[in-house]
């Protein structure tokens, strides 16, 4: 493989990782850019697969034959990443605002999309850790600066041996690479889960508020107290008890249905946001 080919693969993989991590920040990108990022990351992943297709076919043919154990591990990780990418793309299209599908189980599709993204990111970080030597060496060649020396007289080069602890250098490079990738991935994942927690708490608060409003509307009027005092001179008349109609009210908890638990309080980039009752809450997130 040529040097330029190594650098091309490195740049494609860098763009793939950067776009993938950026897609975890939905508040920063917005829904529309997030969806286009998904398309771009998928396209880069396909390019990556096409460039390595010869290696894939060779390892698949020799998987149970003469091939290294490291190659088998690489292939299994690639298959898991590809499976995660398929799940992410399919669920992303189902919840996409481009199609605006009326999904009854929208939260389930969203959860699958999020958790498949997190799991695939973890497998990707593991794969980067196994390829760290190639990543570091190619990065040095890609960003190496060529400096021209202007001298008046030609200098005779002299070879000087400098002892280098290669294990220490390799350990430092590995820690720098995996520290940077691991920290970026951890921040991206924590951002996603913090948003999930905020949405769930907002949904619970909104549902409780809606239940309170429904309960106040459906609560029966308090009956007036009756006079129970009787005088000794006037005996109490014998009154036949007449059955009174009792109003039956359905439990507001059982009849409450929340179609969208995201708790949107402003339109933002959500194309399905509606607020017909003018209470600054999305109608899809209110109890029915």
pLDDT in tens, 82-140: 999 999 999 999 999 999 898 889 999 999 999 999 999 999 999 999 999 999 999 98
The whole-angstrom separation of Cα 9 and Cα 3 is 10
The whole-angstrom separation of Cα 285 and Cα 11 is 43
> Could you state, in order of their start, the residue ranges of all structural domains in the chain?
1-142, 188-212+253-288
The whole-angstrom separation of Cα 58 and Cα 64 is 11
Per-chain mean pLDDT for the chain? 78
Q: In Å, how far from its chain's centre is CA 149?
A: 51
Q: In Å, how far from its chain's centre is CA 150?
A: 54
Stated pTM of the model = 0.68
* Rg (the chain; Cα; Å): 33
141: its two tokens = 């060649």
What distances in angstroms separate CA 122 from CA 2, 38, 127, one per listed residue? 30, 18, 9
Find where tokens 């608060």 sit: 205
pLDDT in tens, 210-233: 556 655 655 554 444 444 444 444
With beta carbons less than 8 A apart as the criterion, state whether 77 and 128 touch: no
pLDDT score at 49: 94
Helices (H), 23-105: 26-51, 53-61, 69-94
With beta carbons less than 8 A apart as the criterion, state whether 94 and 86 touch: no
What distances in angstroms separate CA 235 from CA 141, 232, 239, one per listed residue? 111, 6, 12
Work out the percent of the chain whose per-residue pLDDT is above 90.
Answer: 47
pLDDT score at 24: 95
């Amino acid at each position: 493989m040529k040097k330029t080919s190594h650098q091309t693969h490195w740049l494609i993989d860098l763009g793939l990782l950067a776009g993938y991590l950026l897609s975890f920040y939905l508040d920063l990108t917005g829904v529309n850019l997030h969806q286009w990022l998904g398309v771009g990351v998928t396209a880069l992943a396909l390019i990556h697969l096409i460039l390595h297709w010869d290696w894939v076919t060779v390892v698949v043919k020799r998987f149970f034959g003469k091939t290294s154990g490291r190659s088998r591990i690489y292939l299994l990780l690639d298959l898991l990443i590809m499976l995660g990418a398929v799940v992410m793309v399919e669920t992303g299209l189902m919840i996409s605002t481009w199609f605006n599908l009326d999904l009854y189980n929208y939260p389930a599709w969203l959860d699958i999309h999020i958790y498949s993204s997190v799991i695939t990111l973890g497998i990707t970080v593991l794969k980067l850790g196994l390829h760290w030597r190639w990543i570091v060496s190619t990065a040095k060649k890609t960003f190496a600066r060529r400096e021209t020396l202007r001298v008046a007289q030609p200098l005779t080069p002299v070879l000087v041996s400098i002892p280098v602890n290669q294990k220490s250098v390799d350990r430092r490079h590995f820690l720098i690479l995996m520290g940077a990738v691991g920290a970026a991935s951890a921040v991206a994942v924590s951002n996603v889960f913090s948003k999930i927690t905020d949405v769930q708490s907002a949904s619970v608060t909104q549902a409780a508020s809606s239940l309170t409003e429904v309960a106040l509307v459906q609560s029966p009027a308090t009956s007036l107290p009756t006079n129970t005092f009787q005088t000794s001179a006037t005996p109490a008349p014998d009154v036949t008890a007449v059955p009174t109609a009792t109003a039956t009210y359905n439990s507001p908890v059982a009849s409450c249905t929340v179609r969208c638990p995201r708790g949107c309080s402003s339109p933002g980039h959500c194309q399905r946001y509606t607020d017909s009752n003018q209470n600054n809450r999305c109608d899809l997130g209110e109890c029915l």
